[in-house]
């Protein structure tokens, strides 16, 4: 069995541990319909956290509050500026 299929099997098992088999089957069916036969890479949890943090920074940006955001998010002003530019 390929590494991808092993990961998929583990994910299915975890879904079944949280939801009943009927709900788990629907979730797996939707994933297969939407993502079947394509190669994707799922981001790790740390990447998701950084993505969400950056969205919050952009939302809180008012045009001149780099220092405030740097303090709030414990980043440098340069990091804040780079996030805002993206």
Contacts of 24 (CB under 8 A, 6+ apart): 12, 15, 16
pLDDT the model gives residue 21: 81
pLDDT tens per residue across span 10-64: 887 888 888 888 888 888 888 888 888 887 777 889 999 999 999 999 999 999 9
H helices of 1-86, in order, are 3-18, 21-35, 45-60, 66-73, 77-85
DSSP 53: H
pTM above 0.85, yes or no: no
């Amino acid at each position: 069995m390929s590494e991808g299929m092993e990961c998929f099997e583990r994910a299915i098992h975890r879904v079944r541990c949280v939801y009943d088999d009927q709900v788990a089957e629907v979730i797996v069916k939707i994933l297969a319909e939407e993502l079947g036969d394509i190669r994707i890479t799922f981001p790790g949890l740390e990447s998701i956290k950084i993505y969400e943090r950056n969205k919050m920074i952009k939302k809180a940006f008012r045009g001149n509050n780099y220092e405030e955001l740097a303090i709030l998010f414990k980043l440098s002003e340069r990091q804040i500026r780079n996030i805002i530019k993206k």
